[in-house]
Structure 1
Amino acid sequence: MSLMDVAVDLQQSFWNRWNAESRERSRGDISLRQAEVVRSWLDRIGRRDLTILEVGCGAGWFCEELSRYGATTGTDLSDEVLARQARRLPHVRFVPGDFMRLDFEPQHYHVIVCLEVLSHVADQAAFMEKIASLLRPGGQLLMATQNKPVLRDHCANIAPPAPGQLRKWVDAQELAELASPHFVVEELFSVSPVAHKWPRRLLTSYKVNHLLRPVLGDALRDFMEARGWGWTLMLRARRPELDAAARPG
């Protein structure tokens, strides 16, 4: 067994355990906000016959919602967790394994969804390239990933990576640079403001926002998200259409 195989096995063990202990049981506000944004993007497409692939679907919880928009496939290293989800959601196709080694049909998907996976990938450039290869011309990548400046500078209680957990956060510019060789970036913004250090801690406090929401609605949240204070970076990117000279026939 190669060192790469050992590394993948270690990652698989970690994510099986993490998803079983976390995502199979509940979803936090950050995950729910990511899902809300992705649903708004899918609603904007306005179709219910899409081909959708969720890369790094974890416990598969979001695949059930994605399946309302079309034929959905979910893939993740967490083979044990996906086996349980496959029994619960027989209308969703689940493919366990290392995404970079799995074979999916090229240029097949209208939409690829990827929530908080990029930072756990060893070769992020190759990862983006493979995603692009699976999208139809004009297809869309809907991605959420951790916002490096916020997690690095304003969150004090993040544990170091566990064995089998890769971690390489990116900032907005780095994310745009990873996407730009293969995609046209349509939207890139932050969501879910969070901070454990003062003074941002006061503004991002759940209690403060809960108290002010009846008066301000989501204005305070939107203000912070617009300034890049969100835990999550949300990316909507489009694979370019083939130009006339490149089209077959």
Structure 2
Amino acid sequence: MKENKYDEEIFFEKYSCMDRSRQGLQAAVEWSELQKLLPDFTGKRVLDLGCGYGWHCRYAAEQGAVWVLGTDISHKMLREAHTRNQLPNVEYRCAAMEDLDFAPTSFDVVISSLAFHYVRDFGPLIQKVAHWLKPGGELVFSTEHPVFTAYGTQDWYYAPDGSILHFPVDRYFEEGARQAVFLGEPVIKYHRTLTTCLETLLQNGFSLQHVVEPQPPESMRDLPGMQEEWRRPMMLLVSARKNKS
């Protein structure tokens, strides 16, 4: 059974207190770089996998998309999406992304923000995305960086005085489930290598456009804990285009 952590009351309450939950895209550390990778949405049909509160759905709609479908496994997430980011040309559907099924060439753009690391079987999902996209269509996603997911705990190693020593990377080539801790709660995430992340796209008819390891923007560098973000990559941003033949 697919984990639905975001419908757990305590976990969701903690998530709802994050800056990116309360303030939207401008509070997301990766947004300034992710925004650069997004295509022109004018006249496009867009699918957002793991849409959460629907911030990216709203952005696509406001940038000219004719229709946006946001999907998420969490009822609580979608309740917030309906409240905060409901527009006439935006719809939401509660489903695990792995269970979705659409006709070929249903979408011009597929986007996903920090959701693919919850997916156990990446290959079959990307195969589906390629099926859903029109030739020349674009896939843009962010996911947790393989350096960040490899060890599992997603926390630093500390000195006896509590100062940070380094970030652990271990079992890098051993792909699969990791018992992570997010917002102080246990969460299952899935580690895959950088090779798997990128080669899976190439093997399913995509051409890579951009690969970015985002750093904190200048405007956030003085926020608490942000200086540590220079010591290891947390996220990976990828844009790819479905080949036309």
Does the TM-score normalized on the shorter chain lie above 0.5?
yes
* Partner SS state of residue 188, structure 1: strand
Contact 1:115 1:145 in 2 (8 A): yes
- Match for residue 99 of structure 2? 101
For the 8 Å contact 1:78–1:96, the answer to whether it is kept is yes
- What amino acid is the match of 2:197? L
C-alpha separation in 1, matches of 2:123 and 2:16: 27
Q: Name the counterpart of 1:178.
A: 200
The 2-side partners of 1:164 and 1:104 are apart by: 33
- Match of 2:31, SS state, is helix
Q: Which residue is 1:41 aligned to? A: 37
Return the offset for 1:152: 4.2
Two-structure CA RMSD over aligned residues (Å): 3.5
Deviates more, 1:125-134 or 1:30-39: 30-39
Q: Which structure 2 residues correspond to residues 106-121 of structure 1 after superposition, within 5 A?
A: 106-121=104-119
Match among 43, 52, 62 for residue 46 of structure 2? 52
Question: Partner of 2:131 in structure 1?
Answer: 133
Shift in alpha-carbon separation, 1:137–1:112, aligned structure 2, 3 A = same
SS of equivalent residue, structure 1 residue 192: coil
Which residue of 54, 58, 62 maps to 2:56?
A: 62
Aligned to 2:122: 124
Q: Which has the higher helix share?
A: 1
CA contact (8 A) 2:147 2:233 kept: no
| Unpaired segments ≥5 residues, structure 1 | 1-6, 194-204, 213-220, 243-249
Q: Structure 1 residues 206, 36: CA separation in 2 closer, same or farther (over 3 Å shift)?
A: closer
Match of 2:82 in 1: 86
Post-superposition shift, 1:16?
Answer: 2.0
With the length of structure 2 as denominator, give the TM-score of the two structures. 0.70
In 1, distance between residues paired with 2:77 and 2:35? Answer: 24
Higher share of residues assigned strand = 2
After TM superposition, the structure 1 = structure 2 runs for residues 128-167 of structure 1, keeping only pairs within 5 Å, are 128-152=126-150, 155-156=155-156, 160-161=179-180, 165-167=187-189
Q: Which moved more, 1:26-35 or 1:71-80?
A: 26-35
Aligned with 1:241 (options 231, 240, 244): 244
Structure 1 residues 128 and 166: alpha-carbon distance in aligned structure 2, compared to 1, 3 A threshold: farther
Where structure 2 has 5 or more consecutive residues not aligned to the other structure, the ranges are 158-166, 168-177
Aligned to 1:247: none
Aligned length: 206
SS at match of 1:168: strand
C-alpha distance 55-184 of structure 1, shift in aligned 2 (>3 A): same
Residue 19 of structure 1 and its aligned partner are, at CA, apart by 4.5
Percent of residue pairs bearing the same amino acid type: 18
1:124 Cα offset (Å)? 1.0
Structure number with bigger Rg: 1
The TM-score, its normalising length taken from structure 1, stands at 0.69
Q: Deviations over 1:4-27 (max 9, x none)?
A: xxx23xx22x12234453157531
Indicate the SS of the match to 1:128: helix
How far apart are the structure 1 equivalents of 2:17 and 2:102?
Answer: 26
